[in-house]
Structure 1
């Protein structure tokens, strides 16, 4: 055999092994890393964008040329994937990421609303459906779930989270990760989840997005970290950094956060990606120039640079100066290659492009039905004076308000595909539901707001709405004429979808003045008024609660929002949702949340020098866990099977629940625990379990909750995770305020 032939044969054998036989093995990645040049390795750390001035080979679209050179590791679209696989030197496939926050094309209620369903299997199913629709449409990596805890409704991104409770947020984090990733990431209908925003993003000061966060580690671990850890424990494949500071250091450059906590303490083995240009933004935090912040991020264990291009530009220079090591680059590159390997991209780079299957599964009936079910179960009945609801399908119903005639706003923030042709307005859904039985009239009555900035936010100039006083007067006159002809009025009000979500903080979270004025004019007619809210955050509703007959919190409910609302209003579905975030009496209370700590001078109405406001109560208007039903539930006396417990022993809590009303209903029974004598001050109560119980009219059931000593643990001042001996209080009820109490002792052996 001659020498040239031998060399060719060996190369063919080597390529065959590299490209076919070992794509699921560690050896395959080792071989691939050895083949890669430095720029190709850094390219894997570069999410889309450009390549920071790296010379382009060839002509045409610069981004496509960067892909050909292996200088981009993450980008979407089948054309980009074809270039990466067929035209780059090593054919390394791209990973395609996207924000699929609450559905791909079949949109589910915003996450805050879905959380109010307290239906973990259905929430997991919504994530599973999002994965199915995304993965046939080219996306295999999802920048979700967002598991930040927030106690400030001014923060626009509260719409994306589960609310104020860390334990419940952790349950949802696990459900979402399971839904997206399934049991097999290499399957063509699962996608890699990306837990975000690590960490503490929901605690931004003043409720202003991207703002400073500062807290003790004890507060971090006991009040904010639990959902992040739950996502890691559930096997989440990737983590996204947050924009804020953590102990004075931006999260994206915080080695304690990413290396010590995430990887060493929690054993996270996936890859870390920045949020959009977060490395570059460390410069604005005052941490240094681009070279310094890139060094800080890479050393902190941040693997992928989203759009900022700092890694591409600065890492070669840092290597030359021995300020970072090639091992750090190799580790980051390998983590990203491992993610692609787990997704099966090396075996089939085009597995997530299935246009024919997409025609069958996207917006299929099963997915639409699931969206309807979750929307129905997310609607919270906040007030129902004189049982005005459910509505009777008779007489004339007036549907009035700007949210009654919009489609896209019902979808809420962060919709991957803003398709509205198949949607119904609330007015249309109510009219169809009452067809042949009741007359339904409608009028907008006013605009969303008369604030021109808010009204035209995110609109192109050609679509701007100009405030016309005469037109506004005409709209209100038409609405009052409709109301005058009606037997009952549905005032459908709230927020545009653009008023919540990212970069959408609001200082004033009451209804806009023009909507309030319309509501006052409707109430002046002395007819029954139901206030229906479609919004992305808790609102300050004291005046509304004092004056209207009923309040229904419908949120931004997704693709089937309108039909779901009609079902609840007419009693086809009995509302069962419970709030997962407190509604303030006034913005001046914020932050207000149920699991607060005690003060040394607790509220006392009879004594001046205690912790209270002079003008409003301390308590929220609607507390965590609150929500009404069209039926009534009666709780029996809470009981425990023993008064004294030793470590490792189980305690059973029992309570009888009876549906004493005339219709079937669902109650979310909540269990809270308090540690009254502890090493550090503990919350007045903390959610530890719940059961969602369906009872027919007149039916009763004894419920049992099992408490373990793990339920009593918390992070102490030295961050050890343990329990205290002594007394514990247990609370059971239908919300965090209205509960029964019983106590037990945890004793040493």
Structure 2
């Protein structure tokens, strides 16, 4: 259908049909007439006839069910406007990849795009046309459960990896049946909820929004993302769902966004408990005026818009929203092929195929971060190993938002070791929160017979994800006791961590000889972990979220603003400086940190010029030498500090990075170019600018280690 024909179609629609296009409900309302939906969905009120006017649906289906629902829907829809099927495909569909926070620790843009491409191929084969991904919310509070969906605390990485996922899902042309419409979320600043408590207040200056929180959304939109989801939270006093400044002034007027805006689950009617709407009529009016095109999971639009649209200005807003939705359906080819992508045979051949499992194994290997290694890893295959802990043989390592993943398809840590033909003394799976005295004694006796003790510890899956917020980010006491008990046996002690957030690991680091952060690694997690333990993969992951020394440090992140009394410059001052009295200011593990089985030496820094004009660029380079025994990947990071600016600027800001593979005893020269655009920021006076004057740059292996140099920006 030509886009011009969309307006003709729109002119034929009744008011009720238009409102239907703005409403999204669960698929269960089509395949199960007696469904007992929970939560806000249970309050939906629409007639049997109106069910055939709904524009989009979300929910878990297979290809056969999708086909039957679309067929029945088209039979009953007066104008033959097809349904759009949307789904939470967050870190894989049937083949589950590591959680997004873990994927970001690979720092591998190409790999992240590849995982989204696989997810799109799998999801589309079952008939889905859209996913609610990527999430590009900046996250700096590990108490918040949804850090698992983010790419971490840094603006640049969220921008790069968000764009990579948009490319992977959409693949250039949405008419191709193996693509998915991407949905960037949650606009805006959902990850900055106060206290790390989900759905809570967010209050951030416009300056910080524009410099730190907005860029990832903007870059994803610029890359072609076709939909965007508003956030649950209040932003500076106004819920995002009703925030005209956010959804119209910034998103549409300033950024030129022409795609669809969808609310989060039930968020339109949640304006009532927010205290900004008295009833559904208020909620619908505020949301449509603000720019919400699709109302997810509630029916305020159905209830209120027939009356509200007697006002011609409201009717115009309704028509604009319907047109955007119809254009999106047209862009992905639904009018030509309402059954786009649905193929039973293709579904069987595509889901969890061997090639996709290989990508999952690669992703899990590259996402793991080696936090400590006292020359214990990699292990010798001749060593006799005992595997102990709640995740020793558990298949529950997919992580939250793996809705279509099957635990029966998971390679557990135990199975990963078995696949390596390792000598296993025993496998002892324990509970998360309690280990009896009898069980402890039994484990001790078995551990005494082993050469190496491997503890698979971590958090339960339900402690992460949406509404999975916690005030305590340490491992359960039972697991710490188990760790200390094993330490007393004086054997090499390795800790594998399965979790969805940065944890307080001070106790773990003290006791263990080696610590590998595996996150929730996905379907191939066990194989990937075994690859790392036995040296078939040299760990290369680098943290994208700082690990605090305790909850009292939160939020702790690398690119904080400078203070007037910086601890680093007041070394002779004992008290009156920006510090804690009981712990260092620095996190336990900083942003960008990660060990491997190789050691890399940085030297021979070269700068092409020490002055940079606004119309040219300079280059800087550094030699990186692998002084270890293993070929390894190093992520070379370039940080910048604006020393004098109109506003206080971060003490350090990642502006570029490169990944390189280096053989033992090999030296490679890594070069970066810097131009004036790399130095710009939003100065609070409604413009982006750079400052003439001195800038400090640091080249290094993480945000705390590197070699620095200065460059002056001139006119």
Q: TM tier, shorter chain? A: over 0.9
Contact kept? 2:419, 2:527, Cα under 8 Å: no
Q: Kindly report which structure 2 residues correspond to 1:58-137, keeping only aligned pairs within 5 A, or say none.
A: 65-66=48-49, 69-75=52-58, 77-137=66-126
Say which of 576, 580, 591 aligns to 1:624: 591
Q: How many angstroms does 1:614 deviate by?
A: 1.0
Q: Are the aligned partners of 1:67 and 1:88 in contact in 2 as well (CA < 8 Å)?
A: no
User: What are the Cα deviations for residues 122-160 of structure 1, in whole angstroms up to 9, with x where unaligned?
Assistant: 100000000000001011110000110000001000011
* Corresponding residue for residue 672 of structure 1: 639
Counterparts of 2:519 and 2:558, CA distance in 1: 21
For residues 470-525 of structure 1, give each alpha carbon's deviation from its aligned partner in whole angstroms, at most 9, with x where no partner exists.
x7233322221221111111111001221111010011000001111111111111
TM-score (norm 1): 0.90
> Counterpart in 2 of 1:500?
464
Change (3 A) 1:583 1:51: closer
Name the SS for the 1:279 alignment partner.
Answer: coil
User: Does residue 424 in structure 1 map to residue 411 in structure 2?
Assistant: yes
- What is the Cα deviation at residue 718 of structure 1? 1.4
- Once the two structures are TM-superposed, the CA of residue 68 in structure 1 deviates from its matched residue by 5.6
Q: Distance in 1 between matches of 2:497 and 2:52?
A: 52
Q: Which runs of 4+ in 1 moved over 6 A?
A: 59-64
Distance in 2 separating the partners of 1:170 and 1:75:
27
Gaps of 5+ in 2: 36-44, 60-65
Residue deviations 1:562-589, cap 9 Å, x none?
A: 1000000111100001000000011100
Asked if 1 retains the 8 angstrom alpha-carbon contact of 2:433 and 2:479, the reply is yes
TM-score with structure 2 setting the length: 0.95
Contact in 1 for aligned 2:633/2:661 (Cα 8 Å) = yes
Query: Residues 218 and 719 of structure 1 are in contact (CA less than 8 Å); yes or no, is this contact kept in structure 2?
Result: no
Hey, what's the Cα distance between the residues in 2 that align with 1:278 and 1:126?
Answer: 30
Residue equivalent to 1:402: 390
Q: Is the 8 A contact 1:51 1:72 kept in 2?
A: no
Moved more, 478-487 or 623-632: 478-487
Deviations along 1:358-405, whole A, 9 cap, x unmatched?
1111111110000000111011000011x1100111131111111112
Determine the C-alpha separation between the residues in 1 that align with 2:467 and 2:51: 35
The change in CA–CA distance for 1:68 and 1:586 in structure 2 (over 3 A counts) is closer
* 1-structure distance, mates of 2:518, 2:51: 48
SS in 1 for 2:710: strand
* Bigger CA radius of gyration: 1
RMSD across aligned positions (CA): 1.8
User: Which SS does the other structure have where 1:404 is aligned?
Assistant: coil
CA, structure 1 residues 51+507, in 2 after alignment: closer, same or farther (shift >3 Å)? closer
Whole-Å separation in 1 of the counterparts to 2:84 and 2:442: 53
Whether the aligned pair in 1 keeps the contact of 2:263 and 2:296 (CA below 8 Å) is yes
Deviations 1:306-350 (A, max 9, x none): 011100101112123x28521111001011001100010000001
Other structure's SS at 2:19 match = helix
CA contact (8 A) 1:118 1:577 kept: yes
Aligned 1:292-441 pairs, distance under 5 A: 292-320=282-310, 322=311, 324-385=313-374, 387-408=375-396, 410-435=397-422, 438-441=423-426
Q: Secondary structure at the match of 2:694?
A: strand
Secondary structure at the residue paired with 2:248?
helix
SS in 1 for 2:433: coil
Q: C-alpha separation between the residues in 2 aligned to 1:616 and 1:253?
A: 42
CA contact under 8 A between 1:50 and 1:63: conserved in structure 2?
no
Query: Which range moves more in the overlay, 706-715 or 604-613?
Result: 604-613
CA distance in 2, matches of 1:238, 1:187: 17
Identify unmatched segments of 5+ residues in structure 1: 1-22, 451-470
1:119-518 matched pairs, under 5 angstroms: 119-289=108-278, 290-320=280-310, 322=311, 324-385=313-374, 387-408=375-396, 410-435=397-422, 438-444=423-429, 446-450=430-434, 472-518=436-482
Q: How many residues align?
A: 694
- Please state if 1:747 is matched with 2:682: no
1:38 aligns with 2:15: yes
**2:564 is matched with which residue: 587, 600, 619?**
600
Task: Tell me how far 1:73 sits from its aligned partner.
Answer: 3.7
Q: Offset at 1:69?
A: 3.9
1:240-260 CA-partner distances (Å, limit 9, x unpaired): 010011121000000010000
Q: CA deviation at 1:26?
A: 2.3
SS at match of 1:511: coil
C-alpha contact (below 8 Å) 1:49/1:63 kept by paired residues: no
CA distance in 1, matches of 2:640, 2:81: 52
CA distance in 2, matches of 1:413, 1:395: 34
* Whole-angstrom CA distance in 1 between matches of 2:56 and 2:89: 20
In structure 2, how many angstroms separate the alpha carbons of the residues matched to 1:351 and 1:476?
Answer: 56
- Cα distance, 1:432 vs structure 2: 2.8
Contact 2:624 2:668 in 1 (8 A): yes
CA contact (8 A) 2:27 2:58 kept: no
* Offset of residue 286 of structure 1: 0.6
Matched, 1:532 2:509: no
- Residue 151 of structure 2: SS of its match in structure 1? coil
User: Bigger CA drift: 600-609 or 62-71?
Assistant: 62-71
Cα 1:191–1:64 change in 2 (3 A) is farther
Change (3 A) 1:478 1:324: farther
The offset of 1:415, in angstroms, is 0.7
C-alpha displacement at 1:546, in angstroms?
Answer: 1.8
